[in-house]
Amino acid sequence: MNHSQKQDQTASRVVIIGAGVAGLTLATLLTQSGVDCVVVERRDRAYIEQRNRAGVVEARGVDMFERWGLAERLLAGPVAQTIDYRVNGVPEVFTIDVEGRQPSRFCTQQMLVNNLLHVLLDEMGGDVRFETTDVVVRNEDGQRPSVSFSDDEGRHEIECDYIVGSDGDRGVSRASIPDGVLTTYHYEFGYAWLAVLVEAPVVGAAIMAPSDHGFVGQLPRGPQRSRYYLQCELSDTAEDWPDERIWKEIRLRLNDDSIQAAEVHEKFFVPLRSVVHAPMRHRNLFLAGDAAHLVPPASAKGMNLALFDVDTLALALVAAVRDGDAEALDTYSDTCLERVWNYQDFALWMTDTMHNAGDPTQHGTFLQMTARARLAQLHASPTAARLHAEYQLGLN
Ligand SMILES: Cc1cc2nc3c(=O)[nH]c(=O)nc-3n(C[C@H](O)[C@H](O)[C@H](O)COP(=O)(O)OP(=O)(O)OC[C@H]3O[C@@H](n4cnc5c(N)ncnc54)[C@H](O)[C@@H]3O)c2cc1C
């Protein structure tokens, strides 16, 4: 950054850093509520529109978008009501059903983000600055907060009342908080997932399958595609996993030689870990989504926690800006962290169960048998099934 460069100065009530699912949802809720906000994003729009990650909006998230009157415009895709917990290839379908709750929805993160961009920019005239660099957060006592950044047109500074850091795990927002303010809690599972997007639909229920040869999952990603997840070593690279090996392992782990190879569009590795940074606020900076917490993808809760954070934050910011009532901002971090820890517990349950019930070389045959017993309880005990279904739908 060239500090002698002239900087233009504007103002907004809220500056949101990061146009992922958290930042764009928050900007949409605030813009709809008449709260002035600007989103600052380092990537271009095309990049954000094609980034594919999560696939399910839990029932709580569907309720939330309905409450804000946005569900019809943002959510698309069939209901997500079944999971086939298949041990060594033996199908055992679990139905997610709690009386009085609507089902979760298959809606890829990419589709939700595309719909948010359309509603926010094209319908509401929202303000997203793409391809920004050198984002600097000013959040000191006695000074008006601001966010400055560079783009094609030069250097800009936006003064504001509140800053929201929704720039993911490696963004600048959390990094701007002085050492010693946050406590970081983390847990490493010791293995990774190879995620592959393939040109083959899920037939029947989404599959989560522990096997003696390691975990494999197959989850829908639109009508024609699915995402396979394969447990692998933390040190594995794309060279270790040519397409032929991927299909061989899928057939082996699902115990099904009839599975046909299909085109592989994307391969990447996800180390499985859980992280919480607390509190989720420092002065006028509020952290939301992956900037504040990471859950392993076996739980399918990362995007859903991000939605909970920004739902809570939007209500609190509207109360503060429109009504001068900052009470909900003061409780934002505690409200979100209560859910974060509950979902971390669920993610730990899912991740341990899916992997321990499989390859015994990881944690031994004792934990393999207890994990298989735990899975069997989902089908044998209505009480165990009810709790599992409540987590899958999203705690009320
Ligand atoms: C393989 C995989 C599968 C997953 N599956 C699921 C699932 O099934 N269900 C589920 O709920 N979740 C899932 N998740 C998690 C989910 O994708 C994340 O939790 C979600 O993306 C978090 O949203 P976010 O907006 O907080 O962060 P992000 O989506 O990461 O968005 C952050 C944004 O900030 C921008 N940014 C970063 N740094 C800067 C900067 N310095 N300046 C400006 N902008 C910046 C980034 O470009 C990005 O656009 C999965 C994740 C992975 C990796």
pLDDT string in tens for the chain (396-residue length): 444 556 898 999 999 999 999 999 999 999 999 999 999 999 999 999 998 888 899 999 999 999 999 999 999 888 989 999 999 999 999 999 999 999 999 998 999 999 999 999 999 999 999 999 999 999 999 899 999 999 999 999 999 999 999 999 999 999 999 999 999 999 999 999 999 999 998 888 899 999 999 999 999 888 899 999 999 999 999 999 999 999 999 999 999 999 999 999 999 999 999 999 999 999 999 999 999 999 999 999 999 999 999 999 999 999 999 999 999 999 999 999 999 999 999 999 999 999 999 999 989 999 999 999 999 999 999 999 999 999 999 998
**Ligand 1 geometric centre to CA of 21 (Å):** 7
- Three-state DSSP at 211 gives coil
- CB of 113 closer than 6 angstroms to any ligand 1 atom: no
- Cβ–Cβ under 8 Å, residues 287 and 174: yes
Residue ranges of domains in the chain, CATH in brackets: 7-77+106-184+274-349 (3.50.50.60), 188-272+357-393 (3.30.9.10)
Mind giving me the DSSP string for 235-296?
Answer: T--GGG--HHHHHHHHHHHHT-TTPPP--EEEEEEEEEEEEEEE-SEETTEEE-GGGTEE--
Q: Which atom of ligand 1 approaches the CA of 291 most closely? A: 26
Of 337, 344, 332, 354, the residue nearest 275 (C-alpha): 344
**Ligand 1 geometric centre to CA of 290 (Å):** 6
Tell me which residue has tokens 């933390």.
Answer: 234
CA distance linking residue 4 with residue 215, whole number of Å: 55
Which residue of 147, 167, 274, 393 sits with most ligand 1 atoms within 8 Å of its CB, as the best mutation to test the pocket? Answer: 167
Indicate left, alpha or beta for 304 from its phi (over 0: left) and psi (-120 to 50: alpha): alpha
**Ligand 1 geometric centre to CA of 91 (Å):** 32
Amino acid sitting at position 393: L
- CB of 172 closer than 6 angstroms to any ligand 1 atom: yes
Using only C-alpha atoms, the chain has a radius of gyration, in whole angstroms, of: 22
**Ligand 1 geometric centre to CA of 20 (Å):** 6
Indicate left, alpha or beta for 45 from its phi (over 0: left) and psi (-120 to 50: alpha): alpha
- CB of 40 closer than 6 angstroms to any ligand 1 atom: yes
CA distance linking residue 373 with residue 375, whole number of Å: 5
- CB of 290 closer than 6 angstroms to any ligand 1 atom: yes
Beta bridge partners of 270: 193
Q: Which residues touch 161 (CB under 8 Å, ≥6 apart)?
A: 13, 14, 144, 145, 284, 320, 321
Of 172, 164, 109, 171, the residue nearest 333 (C-alpha): 164
Of 144, 141, 135, the residue nearest 176 (C-alpha): 135
- Residue identifier of the C-alpha nearest atom 1 of ligand 1: 53
